[in-house]
Amino acid sequence: MFKKTILYLAVASIPCVMLIVLYSAITDYYERAVQERVEQEIRKLCGTAIKIDDNAIKVSTLSGLPTLISINNPQVQLTNTIWQGLGDSNLKLNIPAELGDNLPRIEIKGGSITLQANSFIKEGRTLTINIDTITFAYLGNGEYHIKGKTTSQFADWSLSANVDIKSGNIDCTISSDNLRFDNKLYYLLAPEVQKLWDNYSPQGTASISIDLKTTSVNGATKVATSVTLYPRNITARYRKFPYTVDGLSGEIKFRDNYADVSLTAQLPISIAGKFGYTRADEVDITIHADNLVLDEKLKYALDKIKEGAWDNFNPKGRAKLELNISQERGIDKPLLYKATTHLKDCAIKYTNIPLDVTNVAGEIIYDDGNITLRHLSGTYKNTVLEIHGSLGNDETEINLTAHNLNMDSEFTTALPTEIRGMLEKLSISGPLDVDCTVDTRNSNQETNYAANIRFKDTTISSGVEFSNVDGYLSAEGIIRQGNIHNIIGSINLNKAKVSGKKITNFFTDFVYKDNKLSIFDVKLNAYSGTISGTFDLDTENGEYKGDFTANSINLQDYIKDTTLSNKTIEGNLNLAIDNLSGKGSDLSTLTGRGTLKLTNGNVWDTPFFFGLFELNILGVGKKSVLTSGEAEFTMADKKFEIEKLILQGEDTLVAGKGYVKFDGHMSIFLDAQTNLGVGIPGIGLIEKAVDLIKNNVFSIEIYGRIEEPKSRLKAFK
């Protein structure tokens, strides 16, 4: 349609009817009154289509033959009927032999052509083309060279053509250097042509060259056309990618069934490829843009490709874009889009995780509804993020890595609800590295994920505080219909602190299901010893429970991490805690039962033994070495309730009971016996411990705070 429109405009610039004048003059050459005869024939043939004033036609003759026909100011009216059968017309003329090769020259000056053509001009409107000059110069052997200039409201036209009147063949070029695409031209066009215009919305000036060539073969006329448009700083917007482009230059070659495009613009931007003229025609257009501004104008264009694609990421900055728009030939064939966006130093905020990510670089590839992220990286605060994978209509698979991520409140608040809730209860802070893969299938609303987390001096506070964590966590699980279905994984820590106490070589497997985290088969090293156990945490309400066993804990190493680091306290400690339970960080809910056993010890510097020394119960200046012992205790009401405490040395036995509160306040009653002459001699040590407690031979109360204990004698209760 567009090619035909241009062609019709060109034809309107050629007063084809003037060739009829030529034919009339030639066929009637033998008439003596040539001037009069030519005028009569011209007026008769023109009828109402061309109005010619009196004395407007002049014929110069030589030997009775016309040599020059001059026509001034003809008023040509071309109605819709002239286009009927235009493609089959033939200008072949039978030249009488008597004429020989003496054909006249024709000159047309002034005048106008008023054009009607419902195929491209709106019904009821006309296009007026003013004639400057048109000349028909005879070259001999039946061939004319036509040259002319015309003007219209929208362009100045030049005409150059060769016409062979013996064969009817035409070789014609019509051109303009100032074809103006503006609203005046748009409103003149027929509705069907306006639809084509709307596909591209051109505004500005272009050069145009129209080549028309006809050949006669076996009585049939073949018409070949070639139309080339040369935009010059035109503004345009392609309907199927409605991004307004300024400063378009280049060329568009209109062929029989499609057009070749090669354009550049100010951005810089280039457009190359081909497109057809109807909905069923083939399309293959590639748009390449460097340094493209990511603005609302581009958002509007991208939404035509995939609605919401822009809002998913809210990008800002500039990018390099390569977009291919294609369609196979056929009315039922879909229009396909493939776009590659190269980001550099941009900013994005992903809708599902609305964090301000800057310094974004990498590729985003869109292909027929699927989005591929390739080598995409960015920065969130001090965190370096990398992401790659695909987002499709039916399945999404994304891999995300984060380096030096600090899971502060801003970060966790931005996460999806199901993940945010779990992390808030675990209360993770401090730097870590994350490598996470998410695979979502929209058909069953199921998300599979796998994560590897590298803890780097991280803190995890959920009931029991883990600090200075260094190690790895691996997990995989399923989120189904928005809820975490289950997680299985393992934890392998090189080192950490649990409530301020150092551990190393921590390893365990865990399962998270129905808001419950189960840690089982825990193994770790602490203070030259080993610890094992199990632990369950309800992340919904913070309730936890567990059992732990510690073997061969070195007290000398342990006290270095306590307020007793300047004391001489030695020995190997075995500890078992059963039925440990509690809720969150509320120590009032902490309960459990434990046993403790000391071997190879020296614990006399333990604060609550100071009273035995200060009160001189075991002899003046004597500080006995307590080398072994055992204790039984419970935990409840924010305190350790010591039900039984027995310590012995080479010459000393200490037994007692009492409590130590979690805040450090204590009240412990100790009974001591020695075989050094102080106290009651002759009583055995361990085997008499129970009797010693029962009889309270000596009773001392150690009270106050554990860092600064006080003592008082409670004799013979």
Residues 255, 226 contacting (CB under 8 angstroms): yes
Mean pLDDT of 548-563: 89
- What is the DSSP-derived secondary structure letter of residue 95? -
Q: Where are the beta strands (DSSP E) in 255-394?
A: 258-265, 269-276, 283-293, 318-327, 336-350, 353-367, 370-380, 383-391
Domain ranges of the chain: 1-189, 240-393, 527-713
- Summarize pLDDT for 78-96 with one digit per residue, the tens: 777 655 554 455 556 666 5
Nearest-angstrom CA–CA distance, 504 and 222: 91
Name which of 33-42, 623-632, 663-672 the model is least confident about.
33-42
Residues 485, 566 contacting (CB under 8 angstroms): no
- Summarize pLDDT for 234-254 with one digit per residue, the tens: 998 888 778 888 889 999 888
CB atoms within 10 A of CB 74: 26
- Give the type of residue at 73: N
pLDDT bracket for residue 501 (50, 70, 90)? confident
Helices 2-12, 191-200: inter-axial angle, 10-degree rounding = 120
- Summarize pLDDT for 334-359 with one digit per residue, the tens: 888 888 889 888 998 888 778 899 99
pLDDT higher than threshold 50 for residue 512: yes
> 314 vs 294, 299, 317, 362, CA distance in Å?
9, 9, 10, 16
- Summarize pLDDT for 291-322 with one digit per residue, the tens: 888 888 888 877 766 666 677 778 899 989 89
pLDDT given for residue 8 in this prediction: 42
- What is the DSSP-derived secondary structure letter of residue 121? B
CA angle, residues 453, 458, 461, in degrees to nearest 5: 105
Q: What are phi and psi of 201, to 5 degrees?
A: 45, 55
Q: pTM value?
A: 0.65
Residues 431, 405 contacting (CB under 8 angstroms): yes
The full DSSP string for 79-130 is -GGGGTTGGG--------GGGTT-PPEEEEES-EEEE--TTTB-TT--EEEE
CB atoms within 10 A of CB 491: 21
Nearest-angstrom CA–CA distance, 507 and 14: 92
pLDDT given for residue 716 in this prediction: 47
Q: Where are the beta strands (DSSP E) in 499-569?
A: 501-513, 516-526, 529-538, 543-554
SS3 letters across 266-300: CCCEEEEEEEECCCCCCEEEEEEEEEEECCHHHHH
